[in-house]
A and B are shown apart, each in its own frame.
Chain A
C-alpha cells in the first residue's frame, strides 16, 4: 500500500515534469497525486467500486488543488491535471478500442462504459470542489 502511494507520487511528478509544471510546484503536485491515489485505495477497500473510488479521490485532489493554489499563487490546473493522472481512464480507453479491434464487442462495451463512468466521476468530483470554493470566496 505504501509502495503504491509512492508509485502514485512518482507517476504524478513525472507527468508534472512532462507537462512543464513550474519547478517549485512539481513536488507539490506529486503530493496531491499521491494523496488522491491513497484516497482511491482506501475507498476501494471500503467499497470496491472503481467509479465511486475515483469520485472520492478526485474530491481529495480538487481540495488539495484549491489549497495549494491559494498558497503558491498558481492556477489550480497546475496541481489538478497532474494530480488526476493516476485516476484517469486512459488505459481503459485503450483497452476498449483494442477489444473492438480484436472483435470482443461485449467486452468492449463493458470497458467503454467503465471509461465513461470513471471520467464522469473524476469530472464531477473536481467540479464539486470548484463550485463550493467559488461560493466560499464570495
Chain B
C-alpha cells in the first residue's frame, strides 16, 4: 500500500457519501478524517458535482479529481461509510489491514436498496400522508396513494433507462396531473390535493433546505449548485403539471 492507494481509497469513500445523499461537508470530513493521521497534509474541496483532494508527503504533492455525476438518496450507505471512516481513522499506518477496508468499501458500494414492491408501496404511503399534511381532505387519500404508486413505478422505470432528472420530472409531473384530472373528473378527490400529494416524492424540498444549510455553513459553491439543482427540478415538475393542466383547460375541462 502506498500513498496513492490511500488517497484513492479515501476519495472513493467520500464519493460514496456524496453520491448517496450525504452533505458536502460530511464528504470533506470523511476524506480528511481518514487520512489526517497517515499523511503530512491533506486538503479537500468537495462540490456536489466533483471532489478534489490532494495529499503532501516529503514535499511531494499528489492530487486527484473525481467527477460525481449521479446523485441518489441512500442513507444506509452514508451510515455505513461513516462507520467505516471512523474505524479507519483510528488505525495506524503501519498496522493497517488495508485490503480488508478496500473490500468492505467495495461491498458497501454494491449494496442494493429495499425491495422494489415495498418501495413503491411506501412511496404511496409517504405521498398520501404528506398530502394530508399539506391540507388535502380524507377523500384525496386513496386517489393520491394510487397516483403516487403509479408515479413511482414510472419514475423508477425511467431512472433505470438513465434519462436525465429534468426529463423524468417533466414526464412525472404530467403523469400525476393526468391521473389527477381523471380521478377528480369522476369526483374521486380534488384535483389540487391529488397532484400536490402525489408529486411530493419528486419535489426538491430537502434539496432547497440543504442548499440553505450549505450557505449558512459557508460552503458557498455547493450552496449555489444545490440551489440551482432544486430550482431546476421545481421548474421541470411544474412545467409537466402546467402543460397538462393548460391542455385540459383549453379543451374545456374545469380546473
Residues of A within 8 A of B (CB): 4, 7-11, 13-22, 25, 37, 73-75, 77-78, 81, 84-86, 88-91, 93-98, 100-102, 115-116, 119-120, 122-124, 126-127
Contact = CB atoms under 8 A, between A and B. Distances in A.
B118 A17 contact: yes
B205 A89 contact: yes
A14 B122 contact: yes
Contacts of B200: 90-91
B126 A10 contact: yes
Given A20-B73, A93-B208, A8 B217 contact: no
A75 B27 CA distance: 12
B217 A127 contact: yes
Interface of B is mostly: helix
Interface stretch (B32-40, B58-66, B235-243): B235-243
A22 B199 contact: no
B251 interface: no
Interface string B126-169: 11011011100000000000000000000000000000000000
Interface string B6-28: 00000000000000011100100
A11 B234 contact: no
Contacts of B132: 4, 7, 11
Contacts of A90: 200, 203-206, 208, 234
Interface string B213-242: 101110000000000001100110111011
Contact of B26 (A10, A25, A77, A122): A77
A22 B79 contact: yes
B206 A94 contact: no
A19 B20 CA distance: 9
B254 interface: no
Contacts of A102: 242
A91 B231 CA distance: 13
B123 A75 contact: no
A120 B114 CA distance: 32
A119 B235 CA distance: 17
B234 A93 contact: yes
Contacts of B114: 17, 20
A13 B73 CA distance: 14
A22 B80 CA distance: 9
B238 A97 contact: yes
A78 B212 CA distance: 19
B126 to A, nearest CB: 3
A98 B216 contact: no
Contacts of B196: 91, 94-95
Nearest to B230: A93
Contacts of B199: 94
Given A8-B133, A37-B133, A93-B234, A88 B206 contact: yes
Given A90-B204, A115-B208, A127-B217, A75 B82 contact: yes
